[in-house]
Amino acid sequence: MNVRRLLVDDSRSLGQIMRARRWQRFLDTFPAIAVMSVLDLGGTVEFWMRSPVRPAQLTLVNLTDETTDADWIDSKTHDACSYQPDRNYDLVVSNSLIEHVGGYRSRRDLATVIRSAAPRYWVQTPYRYFPVEPHWLFPGMQFLPAPARAVVAHKWPLAHTRASGYQEALESALWTELVGKAEFSTLFPDSKILFERVAGIPKSLIAIRP
């Protein structure tokens, strides 16, 4: 849809501008990324192939199989919340995963993996109290009852991928739980919590242990 492309997907969209700013903040925080070994929990090959800089070695952990011929990427199919690294890393990265793992207990397990796998980490997640739910681009969707969220997930035309039926939409909505600052700070007590803002309004949270 044209509206979604203008807001999120187009190269000149607000979403792309925000991602470019996030990359710059990431590079400013970890200027030696090109010589680091990185563990990305929930990441994809496409994300790193499009990135402005590449680490020396990258391990991707995701529930879906990620294949690539890049010799600097090692892809593993595993639940990030219970992943046990078999090597030491310089940095753990996790972008927009923690809100999709299914409940506070799973978020706590994921945070434990992140905090123990490397001396540095970068964790980003959409902010619960931003006025527009970022996955479906629907105002206040995160505060609606589950059946209403399912209807939005099924019918709303600005969704990234609309569900094929109500049950699929309900499961998608239930698996998406946006996080507030209080919980995020509790999950990552040894980090610095930053806000990404749009027009002064907090849009995303980033936990950084540099």
DSSP 8-class letter at 31: T
Q: Are 111 and 187 in contact (CB under 8 A)?
A: yes
pLDDT in tens, the chain (210 residues): 566 565 555 556 666 777 888 999 999 999 999 999 999 999 999 999 989 889 999 999 999 988 899 999 999 999 999 999 989 999 999 999 999 999 999 999 999 999 999 999 999 999 999 999 999 999 999 999 999 999 999 999 888 778 889 999 999 999 999 999 999 999 999 999 999 999 999 999 999 998
Longest distance between any two alpha carbons in the chain, whole Å: 48
3-class DSSP state of 124 = strand
Name the token pair of 197.
């803002």
* Residue 185: its H or E element: helix 181-187
Rg (CA), the chain: 17
- State the pLDDT at residue 17: 76
- State the pLDDT at residue 108: 98
Residue 56 phi, psi dihedral angles, 5° rounding: -65, -40
- CATH dotted code for 16-131+177-209: 3.40.50.150
The Cα-based distances of 43 to 23, 123, 195 in angstroms read 15, 11, 21
- State the pLDDT at residue 16: 73
The residue ranges of every structural domain in the chain are 16-131+177-209
Name the token pair of 154.
């099924």
Distance CA 178, CA 98 (A): 8
Using DSSP bridges, classify how beta strands 192-198 and 201-209 pair: parallel, antiparallel or unpaired: antiparallel
Nearest to 41 by CA among 61, 55, 57: 61
Nearest to 41 by CA among 99, 104, 98: 98
